[in-house]
């Protein structure tokens, strides 16, 4: 087994450290931690509690992972933080585990980038290939799909759901759900259209055009939102449009868009 562990790191008995793991000086690793092969933990980072970290993650200095939830209801329950593979977790990030009321787990997928000072609150769920810019702050129970981008200095209210391929602009304040494929920005954040830059990297033109038409019908026509979503589900067979409409129908916090009357010009 090949490991590069500093003699100045503190690793409690019981921690499971995989092959080719590097741990820098003055790190703390709890007894319940599991670190997968190829992961690096830079100096002065702390990993607490029941934290499972997958393969080939890059954890930069002064990261704090798995410290107890910032929730006054927390009373020492058995909770955990689960991080997948190939994530980049930059300096001074803070990831909390779950709580009893949220299922007990904070879960991070694969291939995500968390820039400096990003905070993931308790019971957060992050998909794959997401980018959270500097000081993006997620409150408890927030859920992100895949390929989501969150701009810097942006707080996300608790229980928010952000769909696949969505983007939230920097210095925004988000208090409602953002549907997949859409872009929101502002304080308070409102939908500003589709995340076309992101969509062009991953979707075919016909799919993007179908989403453009659906977006106009849903958010710019002045028609009742859920009635329109139900109609589109019946009329349109495009997979991505169905995903967008399903999200609209299932939202619990509502969609932050500017309502227009039918006779607005």
CA-based max dimension of the chain: 72
DSSP secondary structure code for residue 252 in this structure: S
Cβ distance 129 to 147 under 8 Å?
A: yes
Backbone angles phi, psi at 184, to 5 degrees: -130, 150
Adjacency order of strands within the sheet including 80-83: 16-17, 34-35, 50-53, 80-83, 105-108, 125-126, 143-144, 161-162
- Reply yes or no on whether 122 is catalytic: yes
Among 24, 66, 84, 140, the one annotated catalytic: 140
Alpha-carbon separation of residue 60 from 40, 91, 110, 204 (angstroms): 8, 5, 17, 36
| C-alpha atoms less than 13 angstroms from C-alpha of 95 in its C-beta half-sphere | 34
Among 123, 164, 177, 217, the one annotated catalytic: 123
- Reply yes or no on whether 123 is catalytic: yes
Q: What CA–CA distance (Å, rounded) separates 57 from 90? A: 11
Among 49, 98, 119, 122, the one annotated catalytic: 122
Element (H, E) at 69: none
- Reply yes or no on whether 141 is catalytic: no
User: Pairing mode, if any, of strands 137-138 and 155-156?
Assistant: parallel
Instruction: Using DSSP, state whether 44 is helix, strand or coil.
Output: coil
| Positions marked active-site | 122-123, 140
């Amino acid at each position: 087994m090949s490991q590069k562990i500093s003699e100045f790191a503190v690793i409690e008995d019981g921690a499971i450290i995989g092959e080719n793991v590097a741990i820098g000086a003055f790190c703390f690793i709890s007894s319940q931690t599991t670190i997968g092969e190829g992961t690096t933990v830079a100096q002065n980072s702390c990993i607490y509690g029941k934290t499972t970290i997958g393969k080939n993650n890059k954890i930069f200095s002064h990261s704090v992972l798995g410290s107890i939830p910032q929730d006054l209801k927390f009373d020492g329950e058995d909770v955990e933080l689960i991080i997948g593979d190939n994530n980049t977790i930059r300096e001074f990030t803070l990831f909390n585990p779950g709580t009893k009321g949220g299922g007990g787990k904070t879960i991070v997928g694969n291939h995500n980038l968390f820039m400096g000072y990003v905070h993931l609150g308790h019971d957060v769920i992050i998909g794959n290939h997401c980018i959270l810019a500097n000081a993006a702050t997620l409150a408890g129970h927030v859920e992100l799909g895949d390929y989501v981008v969150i701009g810097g200095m942006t707080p996300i209210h608790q229980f928010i759901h952000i769909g696949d391929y969505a983007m939230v602009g920097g210095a925004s304040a988000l208090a409602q759900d953002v549907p997949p494929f859409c872009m929101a920005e502002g304080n308070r954040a409102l939908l500003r259209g589709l995340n076309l830059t992101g969509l062009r990297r991953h979707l075919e033109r016909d799919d993007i055009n179908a989403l453009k038409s659906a977006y106009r019908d849903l958010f710019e026509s002045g028609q009742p939102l859920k009635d329109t979503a139900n109609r589109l589900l019946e009329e349109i067979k495009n997979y991505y449009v169905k995903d967008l409409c399903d999200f609209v129908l299932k939202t619990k916090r509502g969609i932050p868009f500017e309502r227009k009357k039918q006779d607005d010009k």
